[in-house]
Amino acid sequence: MTDVSLPINLWEYEQLAKQHLSQMAFDYYSSGAWDEITLRDNRAAFERVKLRPRMLVDVSDRNLSTSILGQSLQLPLLIAPMAFQCLAHPQGELATALAAATAGVGMVLSTMATKNLEEVAAVGYKHNALQWFQLYIHKDRGLTRNLVERAYAAGYQALCVTVDAPILGRRERDVRNTFSLPPGLQLANITNISGLNIPQESAESGLFTYFAQQLNPAVTWHDLEWLQSLSPLPLVLKGILRADDAVRAVEHGAKAIVVSNHGGRQLDGAIASLDALAEIVAAVDNQAEVLVDGGIRRGTDILKALALGAKAVLIGRPVLWGLAVAGQVGVSHIISLLQDELSIAMALSGCTSIQDIDPSLVTFKH
């Protein structure tokens, strides 16, 4: 990437994105729940972890590739599921999917996408890309079944079930803005089935109203067996923050776990994802692959997460900033920046491959 007009790091992308987004859209993307303590702590957790680099290692050649659930990635990175990407750019999830696929990283498509899952899958299929479908379990089991069956038919390789949102966390910036989708945007994976949509006017945010009406707060571990009966797709559970829940996830058939607090958007005061990671990795004991999201802004952050046991990381908001600034080009550049930074961080830490990254590389600031 040689365009000197583009930002040189993810922080600059965020600042520039403010100029390209409405206040309502920027607040929706950037906000956390209540006092945004967990939102800030996700970032602070990475700053508390310090690197202990190895010296005098031949790092002239470095290999950043890995695999997740048997599928190859050019670097240990997936795009996290994020709703309403067409708020950032008209091509929305299609642009994100193309950027991810051409870079050889994974993408998790949100149930609440503004492009339909078949369109997005077709982009990834052309590049043999890793694509998972993120699922919210709705009160209407027929709707949930329909989404699973469509995802399987479209070629998604896993179901990424969000388990930390039985109800929606209170995001006060959305309440203040009475967040709703602007005319012309809709829930592309749901509206075509049932006429459901984000309410356009509500005393709360439209998203809060939608969750209260449609998503099922009664879901338990037993529902995973039903989900598994709907397709052969492996289950990935996203939103685990405790070791005992991680063990239960494995016992109930999860093939991968995403350590996540929903980007600080659900329970404010919850533990930072990175702080929960090592304990969960130990508890899972290689019986499932463990990924992590929340607060990743530099290649060194990816290195730290891998050193603490993650197989890969997911990034969220920076992708939206890239999308808002320059569409597919912006998302591709975000990925490229992280790839270059991870490569440099590995070289300076004495690592020639992802397999060289281990817990000895990190320590914690007291």
Active site residues: 262
Q: Does residue 231 have a known ligand-binding role?
A: no
State how far the Cα of 355 lies from the Cα of 359, in Å rounded to an integer.
11
Say whether 343 counts as a known binding-site residue.
Answer: no
> What amino acid occupies position 174?
D
Alpha helices in 76-232 (DSSP H): 92-103, 117-126, 141-154, 172-177, 191-194, 206-214, 223-230
265 appears as a binding residue in the annotation: yes
> Does 328 carry a binding-site annotation?
no
Annotated binding-site residue? 106: no
The answer to whether 309 is annotated as binding is no
Please tell me whether 316 is known to bind a ligand. yes
Q: Is 295 annotated as a binding residue?
A: yes
> Is 203 labeled as ligand-binding?
no
DSSP symbol at 138? B
CA distances to 57, 298, 362 from 351, rounded to whole Å, are 8, 17, 13
Please tell me whether 262 is known to bind a ligand. Answer: yes
- Any binding-site annotation on 81? yes
Answer yes or no: is 29 a known binding residue.
no
Tell whether 67 is in a known binding site.
no
For 100, counting Cβ atoms within 10 Å of its Cβ (0-12 exposed, 13-18 middle, 19+ buried), the class is: buried
The answer to whether the annotation marks 294 as part of a ligand binding site is: yes
Contacting residues for 70 by C-beta, under 8 A, at least 6 apart: none
Which residue shows structure tokens 């659930």? 69
The answer to whether the annotation marks 242 as part of a ligand binding site is: no
Separation CA 351–CA 230 (nearest Å): 42
Q: Is 275 annotated as a binding residue?
A: no
Residue 107, helix vs strand vs coil: strand
Q: Does 317 carry a binding-site annotation?
A: yes
Q: Which amino acid is at 178?
A: T
Residue type, 319: V
Q: Give strand ranges (E) for the chain.
A: 49-51, 66-68, 71-73, 77-79, 106-109, 131-135, 159-162, 235-240, 256-259, 289-293, 312-315, 362-364
- Determine the Cα–Cα distance for residues 94 and 81; give it in Å rounded to an integer: 13
List 51's β-bridge partners, or say none.
362
Token digits for 90? 């008209």
Can you tell me whether residue 83 is helix, strand or coil? coil
Our CA dihedral for 301, 303, 308, 314, rounded to 10 degrees, sits at 60
Was 43 annotated as part of a binding site? no
- DSSP track, 253-279: T-SEEEE--GGGTSSTTPPPHHHHHHH
Residues of the binding site: 28, 81-83, 110, 134, 136, 162, 171, 238, 260, 262, 265, 293-297, 316-317
Residues of the binding site for FMN: 81-83, 110, 134, 162, 238, 293-297, 316-317
Residues of the binding site for glyoxylate: 28, 136, 171, 260, 262, 265
